[in-house]
Chains A and B, each alone.
Chain A
Amino acid sequence: MEPAGWIVMLVSVGAVLALVSYCLVKVFSLPPVEMDELKGPLEIDTRDTENAD
């Protein structure tokens, strides 16, 4: 593998890793959603699967 290949690979992988890490750190460090808006996946009942047409 040529030095240029190493550079391109490390820069590409590094840039993507930096971006995804920044985004995930930001997402997970956000305060939780306010209580009146908090709805877990299993608490929602859209009722659209009842009484099928």
Chain B
Amino acid sequence: MEREHWGTRIGVILAVAGSAVGLGNFLRFPGNAAQNGGGAFMLPYFISLLVLGIPLCWAEWTMGRYGGTKGFNSAPGIYSVIWRNRAAKYFGGVALLIPLIIYMYYVLIEAWCLGYAINYLTGDLLVETGSAVNDFVQEAQQKAGGELAPEVAKAKGFDAFFENFVGQNADGALLEAENRKWLWVLVGTFLLNFVLIYRGVTKGIESFCRVAMPVLLLLAIVVLVRVLTLGAPIEDKPERSVVEGLGFMWNPKPDKLRDPQTWLAASGQIFFSLSVGFGIIINYASYLREKDDVVLSGLTSSSMNEFFEVCLGGLITIPAAFVFLGAAIGDYTGTAFALGFRALPNVFAGMWGGQFFGFLWFFMLFTAAVTSSVSMLQPVIAFFEEGFGLKRHASAAILGLLSALGCGFVLYHSKGLLALDTFDFWVGNVLIFILAMVQAIIYGWIFGIQRGHEEAHKGAHIRIPWFVQLMLKYVVPVYLLAIFVLFCFEKLPSSDKLAFEFAAETSDELPRETEAVPVPPELREGFAANEAKLDDEATIEFNAEAAVWTIDDKERLPAYVLMREERTHVLQIRRGDEVVLTKDVINSQPSIEALEAGGLSPALRAALEARGLKLPETVEVEAADDDAWQLVGESDKVLLRIERVALDAPAEVLAVKRYAMGYFETFLRRPVVMSSILFIAAVLGFLMLLIHIAGRRWQAEGRFDRPD
């Protein structure tokens, strides 16, 4: 069989860039940056790009082309020719598993984008009489007895539309009769990917990316121009302007650089964005010829990805959302889904030409997603072809069945998007770190940096400085390991975070039953006063031994923990030399924690406003020293000074802590999570078995006997 090759130099660059440019560039990056220090986030971001991203890309391109010249396109084969060890091919199994599992849920998100684009065409995402989203807005208003502010009702309407659209409320919701029409969108998206992959590397992927990438650029520029010309469209809120929106995204908060989470988020963003450690670049590079350049091509595709991320994603998403939603956008930056599918439709609803630009936006996301998802199929197709001598028909059919099975699994287990989240966490986060480490070690310590340097420069149009090779051998594995340990430390164990406080005496009125009983109405009122959500079916139980109350949600999973604690400090607020408020001991500690994190707690804001001290929406918190903060308004004007003051004697409060289940506990308590992980393990086991059989076949055929 004649081996496939890329047709043109720019074709392979666009294909790799297309693989990298996806939803992460437009949704995940801006959310991550805004949440982790704004402009300050760019420092760890660019360090991760220069230390991890680009060097690892070059390593993957180099190893991929080397493997290709030895007759292999799949990671198990490529690792085996680099590392002549029987174990090598099994590490390649991870490089097949990652793109395959990610495809299983990514194609679903891709279909959401297309579905939303279609909903814009039909007008169902406009808040107009008769539209689908308007029905949800009315429903939210009715539930609240007509007391919701129009903006709140609208936000709730878009939330409900998304939840209904993705079947978030119940498993199997998308298979019910009224939702089935959207299944056809998924089927169409799925088929589009397979048609492209079936046509092959040049006729399918390359030809598509040569058209799709310029289209993507054009769409993004049209949306960017619209956003940058929005001005301040809400008449009575002139402070909500595009410039202030850019400020929300880019104003640096240097304090955040001391938070390990910022560094973790930056390196995770680089990985996810550049498709490093996905097993895709190594496969794509294997279709290059021996004298094709990898250094300039690798750098160009990485820089194209950065262009879409920093220059387009960084200027579109957050400023647009800020203009229409104000500081409330902070509630949406936590997840890409919230920003993309809940906040932005609300933004388009308020924008002139919103129907057209909403369609363009989601069609742009869909195009970006297709160029990525199609790249996730190629590594496994390549393995089926070279491992078992299958033709593309057969390889595509087997892969189609396998990926449809996984996609069906995620589609059915749609409640709370638990299966999708589990796949994303364990494969889209944990495994990509592991594979990147494996690849860095294979390149630096087995392939060898001297050999790698020579191999990379065959046909190269620019030079890689030698210190990059030294970094790949010594710095990258250690940096990766450090980030991975930090990541596990942050995500795996359960944790609780102080949310608010009640008076200590409140604990005397709490139930003392050691079995779960309904939450008393007085306690519910206390939660509502602190804007804390509590399920209608929530229960409370007392652990006498630990003197702790646990509140479980409707699924009988821990949501809050209540315990008596001592407090030694309160807050004193000054305007100039005048003390305008000495905060009650209750809720002082949550306010101190919020100030330390660079924010203002709702309780402190409410207390200030109760004293007639109205603050602007986007007030900045700056640390003055270890025990004092300043609230800074427009033109850097210091509005208030807040000081931490020691109490004469400790005071008791009843602390309410929000409980966040870590991934270990989630695994044990949630059957869907456990079955999702078992599903991943089963796919990995299946791939390992195939790799074992293919390895024996390659050995018998003498495929590894070629000289280096």
* A interface residues, Cβ below 8 angstroms from B: 1-2, 4-6, 8-9, 12-13, 15-17, 19-20, 23-24, 26-28, 30, 33, 37, 39-53
Contacts and interface: CB of A to CB of B under 8 A. Distances in A.
Contact of A2 (B7, B247, B291): B247
A53 B393 contact: yes
A32 B29 CA distance: 36
B60 interface: no
B159 interface: no
Given A41-B7, A53-B390, A47 B243 contact: no
A20 to B, nearest CB: 4
Given A27-B9, A39-B7, A48 B1 contact: yes
B391 A1 contact: no
A42 to B, nearest CB: 7
A9 to B, nearest CB: 4
Interface of B: 1-5, 7-11, 13, 38-40, 42, 46, 198-200, 202-203, 206-207, 210, 243-244, 246-247, 249-252, 289, 291, 296-297, 299-300, 303-304, 306-307, 310-311, 314-315, 385, 390-394, 461-462, 636
Contacts of B303: 16, 19-20, 23
A12 to B, nearest CB: 5
Contacts of B13: 27
20 contacts: A4-B252, A5-B39, A5-B246, A5-B247, A9-B314, A12-B39, A12-B314, A13-B314, A15-B46, A27-B300, A30-B9, A41-B207, A42-B203, A43-B7, A46-B1, A46-B3, A49-B391, A49-B392, A49-B393, A52-B394
Contact of B300 (A5, A24, A41): A24
B311 to A, nearest CB: 5
B461 A44 contact: no
A16 B310 contact: yes
A53 to B, nearest CB: 4
A1 B245 CA distance: 8
A47 B2 contact: yes
Nearest to A42: B203
A4 to B, nearest CB: 5
Contacts of B203: 41-42, 44
Contact of A23 (B252, B291, B296): B296
B200 A27 contact: no
Given A2-B251, A26-B296, A37-B291, 18 more contacts: A1-B247, A1-B251, A2-B636, A8-B42, A12-B314, A13-B314, A16-B303, A16-B310, A20-B307, A23-B303, A30-B461, A39-B5, A46-B3, A46-B4, A48-B391, A49-B200, A53-B391, A53-B394
Contact of B311 (A16, A39, A42): A16
A23 B247 contact: no
Contact of A5 (B1, B38, B289, B392): B38
A52 B124 CA distance: 44
Contacts, number: 134
A30 B38 CA distance: 38
A26 B11 CA distance: 15
Nearest to A41: B7
Nearest to A2: B251
A45 B244 CA distance: 54
Nearest to B385: A48
B10 A44 contact: no
A18 B461 CA distance: 18
Given A1-B247, A5-B251, A46-B200, A52 B300 contact: no
Contacts of B7: 39-44
A16 B30 CA distance: 16
A12 B5 CA distance: 35
Contacts of B200: 46, 48-49
Given A5-B251, A20-B307, A49-B393, A44 B462 contact: no
Nearest to A4: B252
A9 B39 contact: yes
B382 to A, nearest CB: 11
Contacts of B291: 37
A29 to B, nearest CB: 10
A52 to B, nearest CB: 3
B298 to A, nearest CB: 10
A28 to B, nearest CB: 8
A39 to B, nearest CB: 6
Nearest to A49: B392
Contact of B42 (A12, A27, A30): A12
A52 B251 contact: no
A46 to B, nearest CB: 5
Contact of B306 (A4, A5, A16): A16
**A-B pairs with the 3 shortest C-beta distances?**
A1-B247, A52-B393, A8-B39
A35 B675 CA distance: 55
Contact of A13 (B1, B202, B247, B310): B310
A15 B50 CA distance: 13
Given A5-B251, A8-B39, A19 B306 contact: yes
B618 to A, nearest CB: 10
A53 B166 CA distance: 38
A41 B8 contact: yes
A28 B7 CA distance: 15
Contacts of A23: 296, 299-300, 303-304
